[in-house]
Amino acid sequence: MKAIVYTEYGSPDVLQIKEVAKPAPQDNEVLIRVHATPVSFGDLLARNFKNITPRQFNMPFFFWLPARFAFGVNKPKKYILGSEFAGEVEAVGAAVTRFKQGDQVFGYRGQSMGAYAEYVCMPENGVLAIKPANLTYEEAAAVPYGALTALSLLRKVNLQSGQKVLINGASGGIGSAAVQLGKYFGAEVTGVCSTPRVGYVKALGADKVIDYTQEDFTQNKETYDLIFDILGKSSFARGKSSLKPNGRYLFASFKMKQLLQMLFTSIRGGQKVICALSAETAENLNLIKELSEAGKFKSVIDKCYPLEQMAEAHRYVETGQKQGNVVITV
């Protein structure tokens, strides 16, 4: 089969199209013919991991170190990137009961990666679900990472209907899903992003959008039940005046400082800092499927590229101009 392989870390040029062995499903696995796979934050990070210093990594050093070993210290250990996909089940292992040949599916492989290829195998109990009927393969492929991360993290803070939430980083993979899920949970949602993406975040359903190049949300006297910071660009010290007395400051990206703030705020009453890791599940993916089919969750495509132009696609994402998802049609 054809796959995009990288054998050294570096610029998008390290991504080369190659012939590799087609995987064969184990008894508990399904073989999927991949139709689409997006370029996500994790793909860019893993492609160049050797050159990402602990400081540039948006997580504590003790997360960076095992990630460095997992991805490979000097050369990548996993040759094929791609953590999300949508495609069609081509064959199933002898023990598989939940899926059958011909099912249109979408799923998430996390750090196992491997979706930049014509075929992948997934355990039937993995993060795999029937594709939303109303989405194209390209639209469906772009859903799992952002939606599953945002849903898992929002569930950890038990967002309630009527609460006010601010999402800092609302135009990215996780943030754009968090805006839509915030509305699904019945919250009043304010998204924070840069000027070119104000319209995009508004179109996702945000009640208000703050352009951080024009306005500092910590200075406008608004207060929120939840501030959800995706990239960890804001600080609790500055932002706590924008939190209600029992408000929570949720960080998807954090360092030791925020972990210590979490410890400190957990032992006193009032505002809390929460640093959380997402847990992606098939149950959550099925909920996202239902929300998509009910028109409550959108997948916005910025550009599609053929598999052969993977490097171009990475280059485009690196410009920071995308509004929505960049997807590879396989």
Ligand X SMILES: NC(=O)c1ccc[n+]([C@@H]2O[C@H](COP(=O)([O-])OP(=O)(O)OC[C@H]3O[C@@H](n4cnc5c(N)ncnc54)[C@H](OP(=O)(O)O)[C@@H]3O)[C@@H](O)[C@H]2O)c1
Taking CB under 6 A as the rule, does residue 173 contact ligand X?
yes
Stretch that binds ligand X, among 22-30, 31-39, 191-199, 291-299 (CB under 6 A): 191-199
Q: In what order do the strands lie in the sheet with 208-211?
A: 208-211, 188-193, 164-168, 224-229, 243-251, 272-275
Q: Of 28, 253, 281, 329, which lies in the binding site for ligand X, with binding defined by CB under 6 A?
A: 253
Report the relative pairing of strands 188-193 and 164-168 from DSSP bridges.
parallel
Residue nearest to ligand X (CB): 172
Taking CB under 6 A as the rule, does residue 92 contact ligand X?
no
* Residues 6 or more apart in contact with residue 107 via CB below 8 angstroms: 32, 84, 85, 86, 122, 126, 127, 128, 129, 144, 285
Closest CA to 206 of 217, 194, 198: 198
Residues 41 and 171 sit within 8 Å (Cβ to Cβ)? no
Q: How far is the CB of 101 from ligand X (least distance, A)?
A: 33
Based on CB atoms, which residue is closest to ligand X, 14 or 67?
67
Stretch that binds ligand X, among 67-75, 127-135, 165-173, 282-290 (CB under 6 A): 165-173
CA distance 77 to 57: 19
Taking CB under 6 A as the rule, does residue 277 contact ligand X?
yes
Taking CB under 6 A as the rule, does residue 197 contact ligand X?
yes
Taking CB under 6 A as the rule, does residue 193 contact ligand X?
yes
* Residues 6 or more apart in contact with residue 207 via CB below 8 angstroms: 188, 189, 190
Based on CB atoms, which residue is closest to ligand X, 93 or 196?
196
Residues 239 and 219 sit within 8 Å (Cβ to Cβ)? no
Q: Of 59, 259, 300, 304, which lies in the binding site for ligand X, with binding defined by CB under 6 A?
A: 59
Taking CB under 6 A as the rule, does residue 172 contact ligand X?
yes
3 state DSSP class of 76: coil
Taking CB under 6 A as the rule, does residue 258 contact ligand X?
no
* Other CB atoms within 10 A of residue 205 CB: 18
Please tell me the number of Cα atoms within 13 Å of 103 on its side-chain side. 21
Please tell me the count of residues contacting ligand X according to CB under 6 A.
24
Based on CB atoms, which residue is closest to ligand X, 185 or 212?
212
Taking CB under 6 A as the rule, does residue 230 contact ligand X?
yes
Q: Of 175, 182, 205, 324, which lies in the binding site for ligand X, with binding defined by CB under 6 A?
A: 175
Question: Interface residues with ligand X (CB under 6 A)?
Answer: 41, 58-59, 149, 168-169, 171-175, 192-194, 197, 212, 230-231, 233, 252-253, 276-278
